[in-house]
Structure 1
Amino acid sequence: MTAPRQRKPDQTRHVLGISGGKDSSALAIYMRTKVPQMEYFFCDTGAELPETYDYLNRLEAALGKPIMRLNATRDFDHWLQVYQGTLPSASMRWCTKNLKIKPLEEWLGNSPAISYVAIRADENRIGYVSTKPNIKAVFPFREDGIDRDGVNRILEESGIGLPAYYEWRTRSGCYFCFFQRKHEWIGLADRHPELFERAVEYEDKVKYQDTAMRGRQYTWSQGESLRELLDRREEIGERHAAALARAARKPRPNLPLIEVLADALDEDSDEAGCAVCHL
């Protein structure tokens, strides 16, 4: 890999965040010759899936440049202590704020920067856009009309392919991400039982603290604990199988597995993931 170029203090930086998902990875490949001075970064929460780290290594080799890992000293456990054991949730996303947004803005400082965001042409969302005046967001896929099929072609032609977790999960992010669907929690229990148990331990610890102090119960998955969710394994599996069957009957033949999974919005959850993680 080539060493990063030295830059002048007032020189505009070009940065591209890698989430570990297919869209941001495809954008990195797409931009590697268009913007040779691009700086790639990954906000490491310390709670990523093993498949994510493996994929980052493959992507780094394909880019021929290092991907800067942020959060080397302040991971999820650090911030969990700061927030007194309160688990993050859809209504209180302190994980996104402290493990994704702050590290990026601290890393960039006050340097003028252009941030390349992997929103596709077929998506109706914005993603994370910094409010700092020195950071300007651009959307190459949207500007160039590249949709989901285009992203898949970029990854296939580059030889990178898709991250292995797409066999059972529809988005990147922490192994205990509260945006996971019920069947994805079952997938975690099957493929990474040690990580599932670690998520249960977080939940048990918080349950003990909150019951003792405020009588509340916080869980990763809405409406039930992970132990209760695992007890419903058969029911959840049946509902997910039915959702997959409905998605497969849609008039789009020969869909890859990830597309079928993404279309299988079962009754458990169809909420979009974090704007920073889900790229």
Structure 2
Amino acid sequence: MSNQTVDNHSPRDSGERPLTSEEIRLASEELRGKEPWEVLQWGAERFGKSMVLACSFGYEDVALVHMLHRVAPETDIFYLDTDLLFPETYETRDRLAKALDKSFIRVRPEYSLEEQARLWGGELWKRDPNACCGIRKVSPLRRFLKDYSAWCTGIRREQSPTRAHTEVVEWDHQFGLLKLNPLAYWSTGEVRAYIREHGIPYNPMHDRHYPSIGCVPCTRQVRPGEDARAGRWSGMAKTECGLHPSGEF
């Protein structure tokens, strides 16, 4: 492994036609009862190198990285580097890269934090978190995903009310490609058990009541009784960054 992160990548082309709405519905029904690695294997066989996995280095994503490494190790894996991630997130990235001998594609915003402050004012996340997420997450992701036919995420129904209707296979209208959510029906306990069973490196912040970890300014510890994403954008109406729309974008 020459690098633990890669800033550039080549466009992929699966040579396959897009699935129809009916084919997506049937695939979701067929795969709903399958294990997550079987969903990943289906995606890899269907889309080849035109499928990509998103990784934030949280519980769900490190489990998926491990599963994908078992069934389709050549598949691209990327992360969104907002320049505002916790040190523990970068450390988890490096530990996982070393453990699996895998490079991760680093996707960055068009603007540095200094440029963003000059154009939109300092600490935009406090005044307009939607705009900040749009600049540092949504726009970079849109540019990146245009080279792929399918992407895989770690979102689960159990995480929050906004994700309660997530399906294993969906059409992503925002980004215009197929979306696979292999862990949609898994519980937190199942994800943690998989990580323990396989000794997968994970973010130590999870052991300090951070079930969902994003950018430093917009993440806090979760209190007893709160849902897993209550620590994101605390005190604001915002519940999603815009990558998985819930009516905000």
TM-score after normalising by structure 1: 0.57
Does structure 1 residue 55 correspond to structure 2 residue 109? Answer: no
Does structure 1 residue 84 correspond to structure 2 residue 84? Answer: no
SS at match of 1:68: strand
User: Counterpart in 2 of 1:149?
Assistant: 189
How many angstroms apart in 1 are the aligned matches of 2:236 and 2:196? 27
- Deviating more after overlay: 48-57 vs 85-94: 85-94
Does structure 1 residue 173 correspond to structure 2 residue 207? Answer: no
Does structure 1 residue 132 correspond to structure 2 residue 175? Answer: yes
How many angstroms apart in 2 are the aligned matches of 1:95 and 1:160? 32
Amino acid at match of 1:157: E
SS at match of 1:88: helix
User: Counterpart in 2 of 1:28?
Assistant: 65
CA RMSD of aligned residues (A): 3.7
How many angstroms apart in 1 are the aligned matches of 2:229 and 2:111? 36
Task: Give 5+ residue unaligned stretches, structure 2.
Answer: 15-46, 245-249
Amino acid at match of 2:153: V
Does structure 1 residue 118 correspond to structure 2 residue 121? Answer: no
User: Counterpart in 2 of 1:274?
Assistant: 241
Q: Does the Cα contact within 8 Å between 2:60 and 2:183 map onto a contact in 1?
A: no
Q: Does the Cα contact within 8 Å between 1:20 and 1:56 map onto a contact in 2?
A: yes
How many angstroms apart in 2 are the aligned matches of 1:131 and 1:44? 20
Q: Does the Cα contact within 8 Å between 2:96 and 2:201 map onto a contact in 1?
A: no
Q: CA deviation at 1:150?
A: 1.3
| 1:168-208: CA deviation from partner (whole Å, max 9, x where unpaired) | 5332111111xx34xx4xxxxxxxxxxxxxxxxxxxxxxxx
Q: Does the Cα contact within 8 Å between 1:116 and 1:139 map onto a contact in 2?
A: yes
Answer with 1 or 2: which has the greater Rg: 1
SS at match of 1:162: coil
- The structure 1 segments of at least 4 consecutive aligned residues displaced by more than 6 Å after TM superposition are none
TM-score after normalising by structure 2: 0.63
How many angstroms apart in 2 are the aligned matches of 1:91 and 1:103? 18
Q: Does the Cα contact within 8 Å between 1:14 and 1:113 map onto a contact in 2?
A: yes
How many angstroms apart in 2 are the aligned matches of 1:78 and 1:89? 17
Q: Does the Cα contact within 8 Å between 1:42 and 1:69 map onto a contact in 2?
A: yes
Q: Does the Cα contact within 8 Å between 1:14 and 1:37 map onto a contact in 2?
A: no
| 1:150-172: CA deviation from partner (whole Å, max 9, x where unpaired) | 11022212322531222153321
Q: Does the Cα contact within 8 Å between 1:2 and 1:65 map onto a contact in 2?
A: no
Count of residues in Structure 1 that have an aligned counterpart in Structure 2: 195
Matches within 5 A, 1:1-279: 1=1, 9-11=12-14, 12=47, 13-71=50-108, 74-85=111-122, 87-89=124-126, 92-109=129-146, 111-123=147-159, 124-126=161-163, 129=172, 131-133=174-176, 135-142=177-184, 145-166=185-206, 167-177=208-218, 180-181=219-220, 184=221, 244=224, 262=228, 272=239, 274=241, 276=243
Identity of aligned residues (%): 22
Task: Give 5+ residue unaligned stretches, structure 1.
Answer: 185-239, 248-259
Question: For residues 270 and 36 of structure 1, do their structure 2 counterparts lie closer, same or farther at Cα, with a shift above 3 Å needed?
Answer: same
SS at match of 1:93: helix
Q: Does the Cα contact within 8 Å between 1:41 and 1:68 map onto a contact in 2?
A: yes
Question: For residues 8 and 46 of structure 1, do their structure 2 counterparts lie closer, same or farther at Cα, with a shift above 3 Å needed?
Answer: closer
